[in-house]
C-alpha cells in the first residue's frame, strides 16, 4: 500500500475485488511478520525430517524386523481400538446426546477428561486399576491368573482410553445437531427406537462417525505416553511405532527417521480424508 491517496490496483486484484467484493487483502506488517515466524516454526521441523531422511536406504531402514514389527503392531492395535471405540463409544455418545439423567454433565466431563489429561497420567491410572496389583487387576490375577500390563491387550486399552473420547465427542456433537425431525418421522412410520437408531440416526451421522473413527485411529496410532506407561515397550508385543521411534533415535537414527516419515505420511492422509470437515472455509454444508 502506498501512503498517497492514490494507489495502484493490478488487473488481477481488480478482477478479484470485482468477483468477490471486499477491500484490500494485503496484510499489515505487524501481523505479517509474526505470522511468518509461526509458519517457519511449524514447517522447519517437518522440512528437517524430509531433508535428513535416508531416502536411498528408506526401504532397508523400514524392513528391519523391529520397525516392521512396530508398524504391524501399531496398525492392528489402532484398528482394534477404533473398532472397540465404535462399538462402545457410539452408544455412549447417543446416551450423552439424547438421554437425560442426573449426573449427565458430570459424565460428559469425565468422558472428555482424557482429551486434556496428559497421556502418561492415563497410563498410571490404567496401571493402578488394571495392573497386577490394581483394584481390578488383582482380581483378574487371583481368579483367572490373567494379567493385562505389558501385553498387546494393554496397548489396546491404553489407546482406547486416550482415543475413544475423540470419537465420542465428534459423534455426540453430530447427534446433537442432527435434525430429530427425521427420528420423529421414523417413529410415525412404525419404527421402534432401535430401528430408528439403526436405520435413521446412524446413517444420518455417518459422515461424523467416519470422521470420528479416523480421528480416533490416528490418535491411537500416535499414542505414546499411556502406552509406554501401562504396556511398556517389548518389541513385537507392546512396542508401537512412536515408542520404536523414541528408542531407535539412540540406536538407529535412520530407522527413527524412516518410521517418523511413515507416521507423517499417515497424518497427511488423515488430514486429506478429513479436509472437507476441517479445511473448508466457512460453514460446513
Interaction site with another protein (CB under 8 A): 181-182, 184-193, 195, 199-200, 203-204, 206
Q: CB-wise, 94 or 224, nearer to another protein?
A: 94
Tell me how far, at minimum, the Cβ of 96 lies from another protein, in Å: 23
204 CB contacts (<8 Å, ≥6 apart)? 178, 179, 182
DSSP 57: G
Q: CB-wise, 163 or 186, nearer to another protein?
A: 186
CA distance 111 to 109: 5
Among residues 137, 211, 210, 127, the alpha carbon closest in space to that of 161 is found at 127
Q: Which residue has the cell 509406554?
A: 228
Q: CB-wise, 205 or 213, nearer to another protein?
A: 205
Other Cβ atoms less than 10 A from the Cβ of 213: the count is 21
37 CB contacts (<8 Å, ≥6 apart)? none
Q: CB-wise, 75 or 191, nearer to another protein?
A: 191
Q: CB-wise, 111 or 209, nearer to another protein?
A: 209
Tell me how far, at minimum, the Cβ of 199 lies from another protein, in Å: 7
Cα 49 to Cα 46, 148, 163, 230: the distances in Å are 5, 36, 26, 29
DSSP string, 149-205: TTSHHHHHHHHHHHHHHHHHHHHHHHHHHS-THHHHHHHHTT--HHHHIIIIIHHHT
Tell me how far, at minimum, the Cβ of 263 lies from another protein, in Å: 34
Q: CB-wise, 68 or 180, nearer to another protein?
A: 180
Among residues 243, 242, 223, 225, the alpha carbon closest in space to that of 233 is found at 243
Among residues 124, 181, 100, the alpha carbon closest in space to that of 189 is found at 181
Tell me how far, at minimum, the Cβ of 206 lies from another protein, in Å: 7
Helix (H) / strand (E) containing 219: helix 206-221
Q: CB-wise, 13 or 184, nearer to another protein?
A: 184
Tell me how far, at minimum, the Cβ of 37 lies from another protein, in Å: 46
Q: Which residue has the cell 450423552?
A: 96
Q: CB-wise, 162 or 209, nearer to another protein?
A: 209
Amino acid at each position: 500500500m502506498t501512503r498517497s491517496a492514490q494507489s495502484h490496483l493490478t488487473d488481477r486484484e481488480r478482477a478479484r475485488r470485482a468477483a468477490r467484493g471486499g477491500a484490500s487483502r494485503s496484510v499489515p506488517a505487524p501481523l505479517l511478520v509474526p505470522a511468518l515466524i509461526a509458519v517457519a516454526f511449524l514447517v522447519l521441523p517437518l522440512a528437517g525430517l524430509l531433508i535428513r531422511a535416508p531416502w536411498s536406504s528408506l526401504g532397508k531402514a523400514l524392513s528391519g524386523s523391529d520397525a516392521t514389527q512396530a508398524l504391524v503392531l501399531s496398525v492392528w492395535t489402532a484398528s482394534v481400538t477404533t473398532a472397540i471405540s465404535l462399538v462402545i463409544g457410539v452408544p455412549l455418545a447417543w446416551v450423552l446426546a439424547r438421554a437425560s439423567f442426573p449426573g449427565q454433565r458430570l459424565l460428559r466431563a469425565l468422558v472428555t477428561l482424557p482429551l486434556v489429561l496428559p497421556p502418561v497420567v492415563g497410563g498410571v491410572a490404567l496401571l493402578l486399576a488394571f495392573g497386577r496389583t490394581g483394584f481390578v487387576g488383582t482380581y483378574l490375577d487371583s481368579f483367572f491368573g490373567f494379567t493385562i500390563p505389558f501385553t498387546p491387550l494393554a496397548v489396546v486399552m491404553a489407546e482406547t482410553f486416550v482415543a475413544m473420547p475423540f470419537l465420542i465427542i465428534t459423534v455426540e456433537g453430530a447427534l446433537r445437531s442432527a435434525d430429530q425431525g427425521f427420528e420423529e418421522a421414523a417413529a410415525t412410520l412404525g419404527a421402534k427406537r432401535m430401528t430408528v437408531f439403526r436405520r435413521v440416526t446412524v446413517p444420518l451421522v455417518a459422515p461424523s462417525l467416519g470422521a470420528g473413527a479416523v480421528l480416533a485411529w490416528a490418535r491411537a496410532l500416535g499414542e505414546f505416553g499411556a502406552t509406554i506407561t501401562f504396556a511398556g515397550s517389548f518389541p513385537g508385543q507392546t512396542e508401537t511405532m512412536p515408542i520404536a521411534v523414541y528408542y531407535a533415535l539412540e540406536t538407529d537414527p535412520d530407522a527413527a527417521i524412516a518410521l517418523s516419515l511413515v507416521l507423517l505420511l499417515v497424518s497427511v492422509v488423515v488430514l486429506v480424508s478429513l479436509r472437507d470437515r476441517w479445511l473448508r472455509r466457512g460453514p460446513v454444508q
